Amino acid sequence: MLSASSHGRTPAAIRLVAAVVLLGLVLAFPALAPDPFILSVGVVIASYAALAVAWNFVGGLTGYISLGHAAYSGLGGYGTALLITEAGVNPWVSMVVAALLVGAAAVPIGIASLRVRGASFVIVSIALVLILLLVAQSWAGVTGGSNGLRVPRPFGTDVLRPEQHERFFYLFVALTLVALVLWWLIDRSRLGTGLKAIREDEDKAQALGVPTFAYKLVVFVVSAFFTAMAGGMYALWFGSLDPIFQFSILTGSYLVLMSLLGGVRSLLGPVVGAVIVGYAVEFFKNQYGDTQLHLVALGLLLALVVLFMPDGVIPWLTSQLDRFRPGGTSIREVDAAQLAEERKALEEAKR
């Protein structure tokens, strides 16, 4: 596991080798996949990975949890589709332009939701998806409403389905890699230190001179941009858009679950989470079809993660293992507020 902020627990050489092997396996996946269906599942998981890494620019670096990232992927998808069909722009150019537009739109949204702390950010993130769903469904003239919107394929008709899947798989992997590299660069930069300071204690960060609002806004916009890129790419692959699925709170909560499960503090956490949750979601859909049980399963899993492993499954597993290790010390589960509490008691006692 590449842990973002720990320097040198595992030698760099080993980590590099592990990363190369991992990447090799990922790139070999289309060749190893036994049939086109499995391959298409791979594409879906790769798209989730791109989305989750994009989400983690905000979630991981600042600790602000957005439940409404589907708003940006959906806008990216519709933007791409409309630029192709209405303006006749090249599909790939459309995808990038749409993502840039979404990034620009994220500026006022960020200004409104990041100015005050926490609660209003979450409220806006949810409200945004709900409002876009309303608009996309009502504005049928443009979005096709509930009938959906067809997206022209970027590759010619001579490219068969499995070939399409393979190409898009590599495209999603490439997008994920670009996002990962940028996340890593930010994480280790001074900007990243400031952001993590915000995640830990926003007042304190401000008092040290960190321009918290501007920092949050920067990663918020970056996050919206990458989410929209992934959404646009998905639109090109899937070939049709339906508001219900594009502007879905569920999609947003998948991203949260993936990142939390994998660990928001680590570079590859969201990718690990995307593989686990993405596979589980596809499996569930396949096994139980349309019943509402997948909602129950998702809800229970999310609750378990939030209650028992808010740092992710890998830190949780290591701490569980530590318990059984002889002489291992239990991980201290304290944080700023608890420390403050203890201190208050201490002071009270002194008086």
Partner 1 sequence: MTFLETNGLTKAFGGVRAVDEATVSFQEGRINALIGPNGSGKTTFFNCVTGMIRPDSGTVTYRGRDVTGHAPHRIARAGLGRSFQLCRVFPRMTVLDNVLAGVRSTGLAHRLRGAHNPDDIARARELLARVGIEHLERSEARDISYGQQKLLELAGVLMAEPDTIMLDEPAGGVNPALIGRIATLVRELNAEGRTFVIVEHNMELVMSLSDHVVVFDRGRPIASGAPADVQNDPRVLEAYLGV
Partner 2 sequence: MSLSLLLQSLILGLLLGGLYALLAAGLTLYFGVMRVVMIAHSAFLILAAYLAWFFTKQTGLDPLLSLFITVPLFFAAGYVMQRALLSRLRPATLTMMSVLLTFAIALVIEGGLGYLFSGTQRRIQLGYSGASLELWGARIAVVKLIAFGLAAISLLALFLLLKKTRFGQALRATIQHREAAQLLGIDTDRIAGFGFGLGLATAAVGGTALALDATIYPSLHWHWIGPLMAIIVIGGLGSIPGAAIAAMILGVTQALLQIPMGTTWAQTVFYVALFATLMFRPQGFFGGRLAQRF
Chain contacts with partner 1 (rule: CB under 8 A): 5, 7, 185-186, 188-194, 196-197, 200-201, 203-213, 332, 334-336, 339-340, 342-344, 346-347, 350
Query: Among residues 44, 94, 72, 97, which one has the least CA distance to residue 237?
Result: 44
350 binds, among partner 2, partner 1, none (CB under 5 to 8 A by kind): partner 1
298 binds, among partner 1, partner 2, none (CB under 5 to 8 A by kind): partner 2
Tell me if 188 contacts partner 2 by CB under 8 A: no
Residues 315-344 within binding reach of partner 2 (CB under 8 A): 333, 335-338, 341
Q: Write out the DSSP string of 240-303.
A: EE-HHHHT-HHHHHHHHHHHHHH-TTSSSHHHHHHHHHHHHHHHHHHHHTTSTHHHHHHHHHHH
65 binds, among partner 1, partner 2, none (CB under 5 to 8 A by kind): partner 2
Phi-psi region of 64 (alpha: psi -120 to 50; beta: other; left: phi over 0): beta
Q: Which one, 325 or 350, has the nearer CB to partner 1? A: 350
Instruction: State how far the Cα of 199 lies from the Cα of 63, in Å rounded to an integer.
Output: 5
Tell me if 111 contacts partner 2 by CB under 8 A: yes
Instruction: State how far the Cα of 259 lies from the Cα of 48, in Å rounded to an integer.
Output: 10
23 binds, among partner 1, partner 2, none (CB under 5 to 8 A by kind): none
Query: Among residues 243, 279, 228, which one has the least CA distance to residue 97?
Result: 228
Query: Among residues 131, 342, 351, which one has the least CA distance to residue 249?
Result: 131
Using CB under 8 A, pick the residue from 2, 3, 36, 63 that binds partner 2. 63
Shortest distance, position 341 Cβ to partner 1, whole Å:
9
Q: Which one, 50 or 124, has the nearer CB to partner 2? A: 124
Shortest distance, position 122 Cβ to partner 1, whole Å:
21
Shortest distance, position 130 Cβ to partner 2, whole Å:
4
Contact predicate 263/269, CB 8 Å? yes
Shortest distance, position 208 Cβ to partner 1, whole Å:
5
Query: Among residues 183, 186, 220, which one has the least CA distance to residue 104?
Result: 220
Q: Which one, 223 or 253, has the nearer CB to partner 1? A: 223
Instruction: State how far the Cα of 140 lies from the Cα of 156, in Å rounded to an integer.
Output: 28
Tokens of 147: 């009938």
Instruction: State how far the Cα of 331 lies from the Cα of 328, in Å rounded to an integer.
Output: 9
93 binds, among partner 2, partner 1, none (CB under 5 to 8 A by kind): none
Residues 228-287 within binding reach of partner 2 (CB under 8 A): 249, 253, 256, 260
The number of residues that bind partner 2 (CB under 8 A) is 51
Enter the DSSP assignment of 310.
T
Tell me if 117 contacts partner 2 by CB under 8 A: yes
163 binds, among partner 2, partner 1, none (CB under 5 to 8 A by kind): none
Using CB under 8 A, pick the residue from 17, 116, 160, 185 that binds partner 2. 116
Shortest distance, position 174 Cβ to partner 2, whole Å:
31
Tokens of 197: 């300071």
Contacts of 153 (CB under 8 A, 6+ apart): 164, 236, 239
Tokens of 42: 């791979």
Query: Among residues 268, 244, 289, 282, which one has the least CA distance to residue 44?
Result: 282
Q: Which one, 130 or 340, has the nearer CB to partner 1? A: 340
Tell me if 296 contacts partner 2 by CB under 8 A: yes
CA distance between the termini of the chain: 47
Instruction: State how far the Cα of 109 lies from the Cα of 121, in Å rounded to an integer.
Output: 10
122 binds, among partner 1, partner 2, none (CB under 5 to 8 A by kind): partner 2
Query: What residues make contact with partner 2 under the rule CB under 8 A?
Result: 63-65, 67, 108, 111-113, 115-120, 122-124, 126-128, 130-131, 134-135, 137-138, 249, 253, 256, 260, 291-300, 302-303, 306-307, 310, 333, 335-338, 341
